[in-house]
């Protein structure tokens, strides 16, 4: 398939970037059923690290096998598949070249006591991404954590190395930590701030969570109210987050969280589409469903992002 | 435009420095409407990192787009434009060479709990500055913070590398932290000390805040009173800060803080001019105004620094 | 002896790995009395570091001499011998090439106060492993410790270097630390999680402890019960741990802990065999017995893993 | 001027040292009015960092200008001038070669809260010293501080690099920190210990403070009393410190602290001379006086060290 | 003198080690009056760092001069002389090649408050040892300290570098810190554990203290009593420590502590000899005596280790 004007316009926003990175972004934007549309659906499977194997895979035990996820992403025609080192390696030969991969380069786990602070371990390197033929590295930051400055410095260095070696950078910008209460983690002012920080750090693709209409920071709340920023609907909030990502100059994809009903998943996608977001990153809601159901659901999401549903 | 005697005299103060750094200082001093005067106005846009996107840009939503600020700085005829990595990159091709740029290489944010200490994350490198064609790196230190020694060591190393690669160093010297109360942060003895520390660390351009006539440190207060140091007016305080920056051998520019009325901005500039300061670094007071107002205000400031207003 | 189909099938699971690593895994799987079966018994002797010399060796004083353990592993026909730097060096010339060796590259000790956190010192390097002709490096992680992220980052780097130099990586994944109580350390949900983390970190061989039917983490417990995961017998728990190690795509061996009666040791091995585990790593239960008894016991274990007892 | 036997005998004590370092020591010992005598007077100006600009320079405002101190040291015929990076750079071209310079490579400041521990920031490097044509690097250690081990490790590394590049090392050994009370900081047992530590760390020139006859450490006190070590007079204490600096095999110079009457300054110098010390390092007592008074006073000190006053 | 069978047998235990290291061990074992016997006496002078100059040298003031100790070690016919960087350097030219030297590469001091933890500063490097012609580096570890893991990692790295450059490693294994009470520091179970840890870390020569018959760790005590390990006499305890050092495959030398009567020193040496230890490291008991007395005493110790007294 030839490149499209939509994709070319997206790439133009990545000024000053290496051709290698642009080629990798092009590769992901031109892969699968959404190729050429400027929209993306990515399958991420790092829940084994984050929540443990049983909580992640027992509901649909095929998922214990790393090959399952490669196949699901390929068969559903997604744009890319993201996972930690061991997970990607376990199918690296079998599926080489069949789908763009994103090496999730840091990971948290559910076995930390609270006292060690909100942080993740860096568990892979840019050279691992090169060796495994990945298109991008993925890296989580926790704006709001006392460890955030360290995480920003880690991704600065990894992003620099990755770009110089022609690898794109995806930042999972997840507000969390000492500065935030539970409502704050999903508040719209915080989500927009998280998108802005990722953009300022040089992310090529930004992954944030869908947000609520809660406003968390006092100083911010005053401004939202004074300026009448529309955060009433999910679509409006997506639009505000796109604005906060350099007025749409960066690709932003949204995640949906724990497994839920498909209608709810579709509603999310429609809001993302309506608000001008670039797509979904959808893990548990795909691989915890039986394979047939997951393929159905992903097919429906493709239709939504093609403006057909 | 040919170089001027004023600029040449300023450059002579940078003894022992590389020609590369002198050329970059020359470039900034000879750019825009203040070219050749020895005065500077710089547009800094790092508030998206420090305060979040809505608090920074909602008042004048054009500012969500990084291109807006490049254009504002160019059209207003300023000497330079300063911003973090992602912000500069987003216009790096479009505006290449049209205005000297300063890569703000570290950043704080409003999402840190108090317990992690006053610090910033280093979010860019000297090689990023080279790659993006910047004239200088900008770096904030927090004299008064328990993290200050670390920050001093970070900028020592970055300055060394930058100078050896022909990049100038701008230090934002902002007193803050465990050793200071709120009044202390803007006290004149602290401001002068902040200028001195930046100069001793080898800054080529020093950015400090305008100060009050408050005296914060007990030992210092005794000396100010015994020696009768004049700190009664803003102009006198600017003069004392210039003295504290190697008796005027270093370029010092002053920032004005949150958005306020234009008369107040002009008063500040007149005090800086009268006290022998080198100029203003003016962010929120420019980009949070409608573009036309901002251009008017910046034009008036140029006139003040040219001694015409 | 020629390679076997069983071993070749195991090696196929190590996708994307260097031929050097595969050759080392092949070497261990094709050595000793279990050669070619896909099963392994490894002798580990790091208890001198962990518990001190008298607790480790006084019961069978021949063990004070490092040569004793090389000879025991060789004469019993085991697959490999694992020990810390000094221990391996002390017989490195005498026994060069006679048995695959694993350099245990980090170690804890019983002389730490609780306040320093659960951690180990890295006491050897990949280059030591190369110099001493080792097949693998061994590294302990403590999922559950506040130091776990640091340990994950250490083994990420050591594993990367080792693989690039053709050395395999064995991870001892031992849950321990602030996030776990005593029962949690041996709970089945934690054991499975420990296996998963080691696999995600890129371990080629995973060493975990046999577990109990206790469920430690509340969120996990709900899933185990809702999905009816069978953890009633030791064999079922071994099977669940193999599943959690990429559905059996990684070699997992099990340790038995403090010295106990031989019947108990045999029962453990039968459960491992029945549950599809790859074998035993058996230290104190071998070298704290008189040599003749140990050889008898190890011979019996070989029979169990060959399916003959 | 040709070298002297006194200087040659001093150099012989620097066994195993590089010719480059010996040449730099020779250069300082053969410069100025004390050339060839084995005695030294050094002007240090790091008080702007330590106490701030007003407390340092307001009493004699010429001192705000870095050139002032170069000229004062040159005109007074001193052996060397020591200052932090920015200060030295600001006159590096104008005064190149006219007086040996010592780059003060770490600095404290008065803007730290107590909670961050007694430490200094390393603000310059050996390569800065080479670039600026310096004879030595100067480095402060705080024996008695909880950060002392780190400081010792920093100067070990800097000294090693400096010596290998032909740059001498001056250690400011200033007891301070959690292990010492106010009297302890100037106690003779502590001063002698400070000299010993600097010597053991490989200092070529040791700077300590003049001490009192107080004995601070209990175990030391017993020995001083049992052995009848003479610490009754300043000269005796200087002698004991020289003994503690490898029995006089290392150059030791003494500082006098805050500004005071000239008679007191002369008394100090006579005690140093009588006790066999190598000289004075004299900052505030010179540059806080009017230039003419300072030159008079420094001339008188030269006479004392020449044995003529 | 030609090499001896005893020395050759000792060297055979250093399997897998570089010829450079073996040559250095050979050099120390073949030097002085105990040459060829497999026994060693080493003079260590690091007390100036540990206790300060007066406590170390006032009793015999010749010792303030670093040359004194070189001469004492040479004239007494000892195997080696060990001291920190500055101390060795101060006689490095004068005594070059006259006696094997050991560069003590880390040091503690008596000026630390308790809060900073039990640790030492690394004050010299392997390259310093090469430059000064040393045979070995000496390094202290504190098993029992919260800093022990860090110290183990430091010596791992230094040992690796030293061995690769043909320099031997001596580990001072001194139990100390948060995990131990005063009696524990000299308990026999702890001493044996200390020897074991040093051996496992790859020490070529192990220095431990003579111990008491106290048993410190509860788990260890049970084993000592159950197995009837003989710790009743000093000779039996030395024998147990040799056993704990790879059954005698490593050279172990013993220190005696503070100055005491010569009879007591001789008793210690006889116990070391009888228990199969390799010798003494004897500091304060030699250099705090008048030189003639010290030479007499050291001569008598030589006789004891030659089996003649």
User: How confident is the model over C116-153, as pLDDT tens digits?
Assistant: 669 999 999 999 999 999 999 999 999 999 999 999 99
Contact E49 D196 (CB under 8 A): yes
Contact B64 A179 (CB under 8 A): no
List the single residue in E with minimal CA-CA distance to D145.
E112
Within an 8 Å CB–CB cutoff, is residue A67 touching chain B?
A: no
Cα dist from B185 to B181, B238, B268, D55, whole Å? 7, 16, 18, 18
Q: Please state the separation of Cα B199 from the chain's center in Å.
A: 13
**What is the residue whose two structure tokens read 């203040």?**
B34
Backbone angles phi, psi at E169, to 5 degrees: -125, 125
Confirm whether B209 is a catalytic residue: no
Average of pLDDT values for A50-65? 97
- pLDDT of B257: 67
User: How confident is the model over E27-67, as pLDDT tens digits?
Assistant: 999 999 999 999 999 999 999 999 999 999 999 999 999 99
User: How confident is the model over D36-58, as pLDDT tens digits?
Assistant: 999 999 999 999 999 999 999 99
D-chain CB neighbours of E61 within 8 Å are 243
Q: Residue B280: in which H helix or E strand, if any?
A: strand B279-281
Contact C64 E193 (CB under 8 A): no
| Complex ipTM | 0.95
| Cα–Cα distance measured from residue D257 to residue D265, given in angstroms and rounded to the nearest whole number | 10
Share of chain C above pLDDT 90, in %: 95
Is residue C260 over pLDDT 90? no
Given the residues B24, B118, B207, B209, the one annotated as active site:
B207
The CA dihedral of D273, D277, D280, D281, to the nearest 10 degrees, is -170
Given the residues C39, C207, C209, C273, the one annotated as active site:
C207
Within an 8 Å CB–CB cutoff, is residue E220 touching chain C?
A: yes
Average of pLDDT values for B206-212? 97
- pLDDT of D257: 67
User: How confident is the model over B4-16, as pLDDT tens digits?
Assistant: 999 999 999 999 9
Ordered alpha helix ranges (H), chain C: 5-12, 19-29, 47-51, 53-57, 66-75, 85-89, 126-131, 148-164, 182-185, 188-200, 218-227, 234-244, 262-274, 284-287, 291-305
Q: Do chains E and B touch (3 or more CB pairs under 8 A)?
A: no
Which candidate, D206, D202, D197, D295, places its Cα nearest to that of D252?
A: D206
Is residue A169 over pLDDT 90? yes
List the single residue in E with minimal CA-CA distance to C117.
E146
| Cα–Cα distance measured from residue E238 to residue E221, given in angstroms and rounded to the nearest whole number | 18
Which chains share 3+ C-beta pairs under 8 angstroms with A?
B, C
**Helix/strand/coil for E183:** helix
pLDDT in tens, chain E (309 residues): 899 999 999 999 999 999 999 999 999 999 999 999 999 999 999 999 999 999 999 999 999 999 999 999 999 999 999 999 999 999 999 999 999 999 999 999 999 887 766 899 999 999 999 999 999 999 999 999 999 999 999 999 999 999 999 999 999 999 999 999 999 999 999 999 999 999 999 999 999 999 999 999 999 999 999 999 999 999 999 999 999 999 999 999 999 767 788 899 999 999 999 999 999 999 999 999 999 999 999 999 999 999 998
| Cα–Cα distance measured from residue B251 to residue B173, given in angstroms and rounded to the nearest whole number | 13
Per the DSSP assignment, residues forming a β-bridge with E6 are none
With b for 16 or more beta-carbon neighbours within 10 A and e for fewer, the E26-43 pattern comes to: bbbbbbbbbbebbbbbbb
Within an 8 Å CB–CB cutoff, is residue A92 touching chain C?
A: yes
Going by pLDDT thresholds of 50, 70 and 90, the confidence category of residue C8 is very high
> Do residues C101 and C82 make contact, with C-beta atoms less than 8 angstroms apart?
yes
Q: For chain D, what is the HEC assignment?
A: CCCCHHHHHHHHCCCCCCHHHHHHHHHHHCCCCCCCCCCEEEEECCHHHHHCHHHHHCCCHHHHCHHHHHHHHHHCCCCEEEECHHHHHCCCCCCCCCCCEEEECEECCCCCCHHHCCCCEECCCHHHHHHCCCCEEEEEECCCCCCHHHHHHHHHHHHHHHHHCCCEEEEEECCCCCCCCHHHHCEHHHHHHHHHHHHHCCCCEEEEECCECCCCCHHHHHHHHHHCCCCCCHHHHHHHHHHCCCCCCCEEEEECCCCCCHHHHHHHHHHHHHCCCCEEECCHHHHCCCHHHHHHHHHHHHHHHCCCC
Contact D224 E65 (CB under 8 A): no
Within an 8 Å CB–CB cutoff, is residue C195 touching chain A?
A: yes
| Cα–Cα distance measured from residue C204 to residue C196, given in angstroms and rounded to the nearest whole number | 12
- In eight-state DSSP terms, residue E36 is T
Q: Please state the separation of Cα D91 from the chain's center in Å.
A: 21
- pLDDT of D114: 75
Per the DSSP assignment, residues forming a β-bridge with E81 are E43, E101
Q: Which sign, positive or negative, has the C-alpha torsion C149, C154, C156, C157?
A: positive
Is residue B217 over pLDDT 80? yes
C-chain CB neighbours of E196 within 8 Å are 48-49, 52-53
E-chain CB neighbours of D224 within 8 Å are 54, 58
- pLDDT of A116: 64
Which candidate, C49, C20, C205, C195, places its Cα nearest to that of C122?
A: C49
- pLDDT of C117: 67
- Count Cα atoms within 13 angstroms, Cβ side, for A73: 31
Please name the member of E195, E202, E227 whose beta carbon is closest to the beta carbon of C89: E202
Going by pLDDT thresholds of 50, 70 and 90, the confidence category of residue B79 is very high
Per the DSSP assignment, residues forming a β-bridge with E227 are none
Contact A85 C220 (CB under 8 A): no
Within 10 A of A291 (CB to CB), how many other CB atoms are there?
17
Provide the token pair at A274: 């309506």
Within 10 A of A3 (CB to CB), how many other CB atoms are there?
13
Fold of D5-305: TIM Barrel (3.20.20)
Confirm whether C70 is a catalytic residue: no
> Do residues A6 and A37 make contact, with C-beta atoms less than 8 angstroms apart?
yes
CB contacts under 8 A, C 123-142 vs E, are: 123-125, 127-128, 131-132
| Cα–Cα distance measured from residue E83 to residue C104, given in angstroms and rounded to the nearest whole number | 33
- Bridge-based pairing state of the strands A121-122 and A106-107: antiparallel
Cα dist from D124 to B159, C60, D83, D138, E217, whole Å? 10, 59, 11, 10, 49
Backbone angles phi, psi at D258, to 5 degrees: -65, 160
- pLDDT of E116: 63
| Cα–Cα distance measured from residue A25 to residue A11, given in angstroms and rounded to the nearest whole number | 8
Is residue B82 over pLDDT 90? yes
Share of chain B above pLDDT 70, in %: 99
User: How confident is the model over A191-248, as pLDDT tens digits?
Assistant: 999 999 999 999 999 999 999 999 999 999 999 999 999 999 999 999 999 999 999 9
For chain D, which ranges sit under pLDDT 50? Answer: none
- pLDDT of C257: 67
Q: Which of E45, E50, E52 to mutate to test the interface with D (most CBs of D within 10 A)?
A: E52
């Amino acid at each position: 398939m030839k490149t499209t004007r939509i994709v070319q316009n997206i790439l133009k926003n990545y000024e000053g970037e290496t051709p290698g990175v642009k080629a990798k972004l092009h590769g992901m934007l031109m892969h699968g059923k959404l190729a050429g549309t400027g929209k993306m659906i990515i399958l991420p499977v790092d829940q084994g690290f984050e929540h443990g194997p049983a909580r992640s895979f027992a509901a649909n035990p095929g998922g214990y096998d790393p090959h399952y996820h490669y196949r699901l992403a390929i068969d559903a025609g997604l744009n890319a598949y993201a996972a930690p080192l061991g997970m990607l390696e376990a199918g690296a030969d079998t599926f080489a070249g069949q789908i763009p991969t994103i090496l999730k380069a840091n990971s948290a786990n559910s076995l930390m006591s609270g006292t060690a602070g909100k942080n993740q371990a860096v568990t892979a390197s840019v050279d691992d991404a090169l060796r495994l033929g990945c298109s991008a590295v993925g890296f989580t930051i926790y704006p709001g954590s006392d460890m955030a400055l360290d995480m920003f410095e880690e991704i600065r260095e990894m992003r620099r190395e990755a770009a110089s070696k022609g690898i794109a950078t995806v930042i999972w910008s997840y507000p969390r930590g000492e500065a935030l209460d539970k409502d704050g983690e999903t508040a719209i002012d915080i989500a927009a701030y998280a998108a802005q920080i990722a953009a300022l750090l040089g992310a090529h693709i930004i992954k944030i969570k869908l947000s609520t209409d809660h406003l968390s920071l006092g100083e911010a709340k005053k401004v939202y109210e004074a300026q009448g920023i529309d955060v009433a609907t999910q679509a409006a909030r997506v639009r505000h987050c796109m604005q906060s990502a350099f007025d749409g100059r960066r690709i932003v994809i949204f995640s949906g969280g724990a497994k839920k009903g498909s209608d709810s998943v579709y509603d999310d996608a429609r809001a993302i589409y309506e608000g001008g977001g670039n797509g979904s990153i959808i893990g548990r809601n795909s691989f915890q469903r039986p394979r047939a159901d997951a393929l159905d659901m992903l097919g429906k999401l493709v239709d939504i992002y093609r403006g057909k549903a």
